[in-house]
Amino acid sequence: EFYADFVALDPYHFSLNWAPGHIYMLMDHPSYQHFCRRVVDGIAAVFLSLKRRPVIRYQRTSDIAKIIATEAS
């Protein structure tokens, strides 16, 4: 089975290959459902490929990071 929502850059790094992603992380706004879904799908693809369960740490004040971490775990 293949999960192609990410690009492996080297054995230790990957990219979701989505350029505007960092902009949404700076703007903590609840209307970014599409962004959150894309990130969760990408993280899920990485961890399914690695056959691992994600443990995601995030800053308490970031609502977007909390949503992504909760949905991806």
Classify residue 1: in a domain, yes or no: no
Give 8: exposed, middle or buried? Use CB within 10 Å, 0-12, 13-18, 19+: exposed
Reported pTM: 0.69
pLDDT at 47: 87
Say if CB 17 and CB 39 are below 8 A apart.
no
pLDDT at 15: 86
pLDDT digits (tens, 9 = 90+) for 23-40: 666 665 666 777 778 888
**pLDDT of residue 49 exceeding 70:** yes
Tell me which residue range forms the domain holding 45. 7-72
Total domains in the fold of the chain: 1
pLDDT at 34: 74
pLDDT at 7: 86
Classify residue 28: in a domain, yes or no: yes
Classify residue 57: in a domain, yes or no: yes
What would the mean pLDDT of 48-64 be, rounded to a whole number? 86
DSSP string of the chain? ----SSEEEETTEEE---TTHHHHHHS--TT-HHHHHHHHHHHHHHHHHHT--------TT-HHHHHHHHHH-
